[in-house]
Amino acid sequence: MPAAAPTLAVWAGPKTAEYVALFRTAAPDIHAVAADDITDPSGIEWLAGWRLPLGYFARFPQLNVFFGLGAGVDAVLMRDDLAPHVQVVKLADAGMAPQMAEFALMGVLHWQRRMSEYSQQQAACEWKPLRPRLRADVRVSVLGLGAIGGEVARTLADFGYRVSGWSRSQKSIAGVRCMQGADALRSLLTDTNVLVNMLPSTPETRGLINHEVLAALPVSAYVVNGSRGDQLDVEALLKLLDSGHLSGALLDVFATEPLPADSPLWRHANIRITPHVAAATLPAEAVTQIVANIRRVARGEKALGAVQRQRGY
């Protein structure tokens, strides 16, 4: 690290002070400062943050690299205050993947152990054992096999499920049938009991899980969305749940967050909702990864998790 390391500005809302302290402990040679405290932001080249106020990027005309404190960069890439030349860097797993794997597993177990049906039976005080489903017969399809989705697929395969995965480029994950392309997606859907969405939200994937995609799933299939709400057509989901084509959904993310109180999703008997908590950023792990990336960038190397802005992730 050169003697005069540039300042790292940090903006993380109420967590800013916590992050600044973590950066200072992890890398005393990097001058981490709360972005709001910087009186002359004109020379700032590095900024770390999450959900920055609108217009905030415009304060930093020399910004070179933005280190996101999350895995998704959709909201950042949609902003018009972020100059096109700024390198955006996302977190790559950084402790989120195991949490997301637990979340997906919870959805798969819900379907496997027929919890939607038993909840309905409970509401009617009905005691009626249903036919058991064995792990080896449960077909799970994971859309998106990146830093988090790949670990989700691996974990579910290790648990004994029949796992398929879908991505843009060819992947090889032990125990997972990896597929690519639109034709593969169609055949994957017809062979799925539980669909797990782990795609980033991009111009190509927004609205991708529409009526046609959901209707292609076999009767009684279940949907887990841990990625972004704008990828799932909730009207279509509700229609197919109400017709009995789909059996349920576990949703962590929504097109509008917080989910408005008048959304019918809240009150649907076969939908389980969590408030965007499937995989939280772990500050210490995030800081460790960003510090390592700052050192890479300072050496003129590419950061791990560097985003290709034209493809949207």
Choose the contact partner of 168 out of ligand GLV, ligand NAP, none; CB within 5 to 8 A by kind.
ligand NAP
Which residue out of 154, 162, 228, 268 is catalytically annotated? 228
Closest approach of ligand NAP to the CB of residue 271, in Å: 16
Check binding of 251 to ligand GLV (CB under 6 A): no
Phi/psi of residue 10, each to 5°? -130, 130
Q: Applying CB under 6 A, which of residues 71, 143, 198, 271 lies at the interface with ligand GLV?
A: 71
Instruction: Annotate each residue in 80-99 with x if it binds ligand NAP (CB under 6 A) or - if it does not, as one string.
Output: ----------------x---
The set of residues, in sequence order, having a beta carbon less than 8 Å from that of 308 and lying 6+ positions away, is: none
Check binding of 305 to ligand GLV (CB under 6 A): no
Instruction: Annotate each residue in 252-291 with x if it binds ligand NAP (CB under 6 A) or - if it does not, as one string.
Output: xx----------------------x-xx------------
Check binding of 313 to ligand NAP (CB under 6 A): yes
* Cα R_g (the chain), whole angstroms: 21
- Phi-psi domain of 286 (left: phi exceeds 0; alpha: psi -120 through 50; beta: other): alpha
Is 228 known to be catalytic? yes
Question: CA 169 to CA 152: how far, in whole Å?
Answer: 17
Q: Answer for the pair 66, 28: CB distance below 8 angstroms, yes or no.
A: no
Determine which helix (DSSP H) or strand (DSSP E) holds 75, and give its type and residue range: helix 74-77
Q: Applying CB under 6 A, which of residues 6, 200, 229, 283 lies at the interface with ligand NAP?
A: 200
Q: Answer for the pair 152, 198: CB distance below 8 angstroms, yes or no.
A: yes
Question: Which residue has 């799970």 as its token pair?
Answer: 140
Q: Which amino acid would we find at residue 241?
A: L
Q: Which stretch, 54-62, 65-73, 81-89, 286-294, contacts ligand GLV (CB under 6 A)?
A: 65-73
Is 268 known to be catalytic? no
149-158 helix and 96-112 helix, angle to the nearest 10 degrees: 50
**Where along the sequence are the contacts to ligand NAP (CB under 6 A)?**
71-72, 96, 144-149, 166-169, 198-202, 204-205, 226-228, 252-253, 276, 278-279, 313
| Residues assigned a catalytic role | 228, 276
